Structures are given as structure tokens and as C-alpha cells.
Amino acid sequence: MSAYVPASDRYDTMIYNRCGKSGIRLPAISLGLWHNFGSIDNFENGRAIVRRAFDKGITHFDLANNYGPVPGSAEENFGAILRKDFTGNLRDELIISTKAGYHMWPGPYGDWGSRKYVLSSLDQSLRRMKLDYVDIFYSHRPDPETPIEETMGALDTAVRQGKALYVGLSNYTAEQTKAALAVLKSLGTPCLIHQPKYSMFERWVEGGLLDVLEANGVGCIPFSPLAQGLLTDRYLKGIPEGSRASKPSGFLKADHITDEKLDKIQRLNAIALQRGQTLAQMALAWLLKDKRVTTVLIGASSVEQLDNNLGALHKVQFDAAELKEIESILQ
């Protein structure tokens, strides 16, 4: 691949939204490296996606210790892309996040939310990416057996060590979030952002979490906003070879694509076409219409998918009739 020179117009079309009440603005669309960037994947394809994303104003790239497969390899590959393509001061134009919370190494200190695990994991992530710091470090999931003060204390320590600039929570319920935010505030390290699963097909955050985030000035970055590809035209005509649902690894299984789901997808697709959008674009716009949502965290297996998703920003408004029709399908 030829030497990378970032597009000079990269900041011209992207929308940047303030993250809660912080000093940080994030692009309305962010890129996640959960799938398609591991050691089983094509490195140059991932590299092309990252380059294209940055050329289009995507400044935020989301990782976790366990992304791959194999776990850790997405961080290694992302680090390699940074060293090849994002040289000079370009690091200062990027918001890079990683997380600790799921299983990473054997024994009692390689999982969940102990101080021991969380801080060791961050050190490992930094070594894999060959970075001095990440911009956002998350607790990836709440640990029911570790005091919240311990897990939040570890995040606070990461910031004080200069290994993270901000901290975030992921997969915490509204109540767990409230408790964690209070601890973080008392430590002097306010939470920047919360990363929940949120899409047209997964709406638990509407039952309280979004209100907690707004009340506390915390941003929101929904993950799997396309329901891993269900909210696109990917599965309208069956399960294509190479698609996520066709692969043995991962959490989207062919049997998740039921007739009932397909019927909803078809009907949503018809509304999207009436709006002059693809279904993927409409699904992203539908999340971004809520001002409590800072940025949507997409995945992509090709530059074409990324480009298609970026098109969502051309039309994020909905009229009342469209929203009503969508609601009647989602019920």
C-alpha cells in the first residue's frame, strides 16, 4: 500500500458533537475494531478502512483488550496501522479507546474488575498498540463481586498515571452507572462517556440510562448500532458468504435471523428507501436524532460499507409520520 497522506478536507463534512459536558467533541460516527481487524482478518483491508475513516473525519477508533480473534490482535494490528500511516503529530488528531472487563488471561487476575486486572490489562493494551496512553479507558462491564470503588479507583489511577486521558463505562445498567459516576466524581475523575448496546432492535437504554447520562453530563456512544449488520441490506436475500452471520466466530448466529426479524427488516428497509436512504443509514440517523447520543460506534468489513454508513449524515431528521411508522414496526 502506498504512503498515506490524510485528505486535506477531512474535517469539512463530519459533524462533531460535544461528549456530555466535557471539552471533547466526537465525530457523529466512530469506528470500532471488534471484528475485521484481528489476526484472522486481512490486514490491508482493515488498514484501508482506518485510512478511509480518518479521511472522512472519523477521529475516534474504539478497541478493547480482547478484540481479535485472537484476543489482543486487533490492538496489535491497530498499533501497526498507526506506526505505518499515522506518523508525526497525527496521534494528536485521534481519540483512541480501549477497555478491560472480559476474559483475557488465565487465572484469577485476567478477568472482570479488580484493580490488579484492570491496570495490568491497560499496560498490556499499551504494549500491544505501542502507545504511551489511550484517550479513553473503559471498564468493559460491571463486576458483581468487586466493590465499585475498587474498579473505579483503578480507572482513576490510570488517568493519574498518565496512561489514559478520560475514563468510560460500558454495559453498566442505569443504577450501576449512577453508583459508578458518584465514585468517579468523588475521586476527581469524571466519567466522559458510556458505551451501551443500542439500536432500533435493542432499546434498553431508553428505560433510564440515557436520562442518567444526560443528568450527569456524560456522553453516550451506542455500540452495534446496526445490530451487527441486521439493520442493513446484508441479510435481505439470505446469509451471504463472508458475512458475520456466516462465520463460526462471533455472536451473530444464522438462527438470530428469524422470519419475524426479516419481516421487520424488510418493512424498515421500505421506509428507508422512501426517505432516500439505505437501511443502514436510516438506522444510524434514528439513533443520532436523540441529542443525548454523542456518536454511533459502527463496525465495517469494507470501505464500501463505511462509505455507505457515512451517508447517514446527509439526512438525520425524521418527520412525525416516519417515526410513528418505524415505532409500529419495532413494537
Ligand X SMILES: NC(=O)c1ccc[n+]([C@@H]2O[C@H](COP(=O)([O-])OP(=O)(O)OC[C@H]3O[C@@H](n4cnc5c(N)ncnc54)[C@H](OP(=O)(O)O)[C@@H]3O)[C@@H](O)[C@H]2O)c1
Question: What residue ranges bind ligand X (CB under 6 A)?
Answer: 32-36, 62, 140, 170-171, 195, 223-229, 232, 234, 243-244, 280, 297-301, 305, 308-309
Name the minimum Å distance from CB 197 to ligand X: 6
CB of 99 or CB of 115, closer to ligand X: 99
**Which residue lies nearer to ligand X by CB, 88 or 258?**
258
| Residue 12 burial class via C-beta count within 10 angstroms: exposed 0-12, middle 13-18, buried 19 and up | exposed
Give me the least distance between CB of 23 and ligand X, in Å please: 23
Instruction: Name the residue among 32, 36, 52, 29 with its Cα closest to residue 243.
Output: 36
CB 75 within 8 A of CB 129: yes
DSSP symbols for 220-264? E--BSTTGGGTTSSTTTTS--TTSGGGSSSSS--GGGS-HHHHHH
Whichever of 158 and 231 has its CB closer to ligand X, that residue is 231
CB of 5 to ligand X, least distance (A): 26
Least distance CB 250 / ligand X (angstroms): 9
- Residue number with CB closer to ligand X (162 or 268): 268
199, β-bridge pairs: 202
Across the strands, what pairs with 32? 62
Locate 3 and state its grid cell.
Answer: 504512503
Cβ(296)–Cβ(221) under 8 Å? yes
> Of 93 and 307, which CB lies nearer to ligand X in the complex structure?
307
> In terms of CB distance, is 62 or 143 closer to ligand X?
62
Least distance (Å) between residue 244 CB and ligand X? 4
Q: Smaller CB distance to ligand X: residue 41 or 156?
A: 41
Count the residues in the chain: 331
Q: How far apart are the C-alpha atoms of 139 and 172, rounded to whole Å?
A: 9
To ligand X, the closest distance from the beta carbon of 87 in angstroms equals 24
Which of 180, 33, 22 lies closest to 97 in space, CA to CA? Answer: 33
Q: Which of residues 88 and 144 has its CB atom nearest to ligand X in the complex?
A: 144
Compute the least distance from the CB of residue 252 to ligand X, in Å. Answer: 8
Q: What is the smallest separation between the CB atom of 4 and ligand X, expressed in angstroms?
A: 22
Distance of CA 170 to the CA centre of its chain: 10
The 3-state DSSP class for residue 154 equals: helix
For residue 202, the 8-state DSSP code is B
Q: How far is CA 43 from CA 64, 249, 305, in A?
A: 18, 18, 17
Residue 330 is which amino acid? Answer: L
